[in-house]
């Protein structure tokens, strides 16, 4: 019985896969996008099919959550061992006013050898933020910084076909994230 229904299940999975394309079937989040990388070149997610992607949002004036996320991602890549080239970390800045490609280049190079940093016009970034269900708010402040950016700190796990699989909050360890990446690479 199980053997007979296996092709049917496979067909259903394939159909489901093509129907949802690259968005999560339950939430509708995820999908392809294009932004500008730290070298000023266009980065398109669909150009990286074949790699598992860890996507997250932040800004370089952030001295707390963002370095912590980047160091966690770094730790994930260490735990991937020889499979690390099959994965990619993508940091999307939500502060295009301050985060020029040059600033982003130095920032990601410092914290993680495996991360790409992206920027773009605010409207372009906002589309990606919404697409993945992330949020950020620019808040004016009496701080010498001028403004603070509140942002979600989730890390989104995208499989090698470009489909959003799940996301991790700040409580989940590098080891838990690495295990999920490894499962997708099997």
Partner 1 sequence: MSRKRVIKVSVLAFASVSCSLALLVEQNSLAKVCSGAGWECVSSIQSATAFEKSSIKADELLIHNAWIQEMPPTSKHTAAYMVIENKSAKETALVAAKAEIAEAVELHRMVTEGNMMRMRRVDRIPLPVGKTEITGDFHIMLINLKSPLKEGDHVALTLEFEGGGSKTLQVPVKKRQGEDGQ
DSSP-assigned states of every residue in 2-56: HHHHHHHHHHHHHHHHHHHTTB-TTT--B---EEEETTS-EEEGGGGTTSEEEEE
**Judged by CB under 8 A, does residue 27 bind partner 1?**
no
Q: Exactly one of 87, 94, 103, 163 binds partner 1 (CB under 8 A); which one?
A: 103
The three-state secondary structure class of 144 is coil
Minimum CB–partner distance for residue 59 and partner 1 (Å): 10
| Region of 31-39, 83-91, 113-121, 134-142 interacting with partner 1 (CB under 8 A) | 134-142
Minimum CB–partner distance for residue 184 and partner 1 (Å): 21
Q: Which is nearer to partner 1, 140 or 186 (CB)?
A: 140
Q: Exactly one of 25, 170, 179, 183 binds partner 1 (CB under 8 A); which one?
A: 170
Q: 42-44 and 52-58 as β-strands: parallel, antiparallel, unpaired?
A: unpaired
Q: Exactly one of 48, 84, 86, 148 binds partner 1 (CB under 8 A); which one?
A: 148
Pick from 83, 89, 49, 39: nearest CA to 179: 83
| Neighbour tally for 158: CB within 10 Å | 28
CA dihedral 145, 118, 42, 89 (to 10 degrees): 170
How many of the chain's residues bind partner 1 (CB under 8 A)?
38
Please state the φ and ψ torsions of residue 173, each to the nearest 5 degrees: -80, 165
**Judged by CB under 8 A, does residue 169 bind partner 1?**
yes
Minimum CB–partner distance for residue 165 and partner 1 (Å): 17
Q: How far is the CA of 64 from the CAs of 29, 69, 101, 170, in angstroms?
A: 27, 9, 21, 12
Pick from 62, 72, 73, 64: nearest CA to 149: 62
Helix (H) or strand (E) holding 78: helix 65-80
**Judged by CB under 8 A, does residue 165 bind partner 1?**
no
Q: Exactly one of 60, 93, 119, 180 binds partner 1 (CB under 8 A); which one?
A: 60
Q: Which of residues 109-128 bind partner 1 (CB under 8 A)?
A: 109-111
**Judged by CB under 8 A, does residue 142 bind partner 1?**
yes
Catalog residues that contact partner 1 under the rule CB under 8 A: 60-65, 67-68, 71-72, 74-75, 78, 102-103, 106-107, 109-111, 135, 139, 141-145, 148-154, 169-170, 173-174
């Amino acid at each position: 019985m199980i053997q007979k229904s296996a092709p049917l299940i496979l067909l259903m999975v394939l159909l489901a896969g093509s129907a949802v394309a690259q968005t999560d079937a339950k939430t509708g989040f995820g999908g392809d996008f294009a932004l500008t990388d730290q070298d000023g070149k266009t980065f398109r997610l669909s150009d990286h099919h074949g790699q598992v992607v860890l996507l997250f949002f932040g800004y370089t004036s952030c001295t707390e959550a963002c370095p912590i996320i980047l160091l966690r991602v770094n730790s994930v890549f260490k735990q991937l061992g020889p499979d690390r080239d099959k994965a990619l970390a993508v940091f999307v800045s939500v502060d295009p006013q301050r985060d020029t490609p040059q600033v982003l280049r130095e920032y990601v190079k410092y914290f993680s050898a495996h991360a790409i940093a992206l920027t773009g016009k605010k409207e372009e970034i906002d589309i990606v933020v919404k697409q993945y269900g992330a949020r950020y708010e620019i808040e004016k402040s009496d701080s010498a910084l001028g403004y603070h950016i509140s942002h979600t700190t989730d890390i989104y796990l995208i499989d090698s076909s470009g489909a959003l699989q799940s996301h991790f909050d700040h409580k989940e360890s590098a080891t838990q994230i690495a295990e999920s990446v490894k499962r997708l690479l099997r």
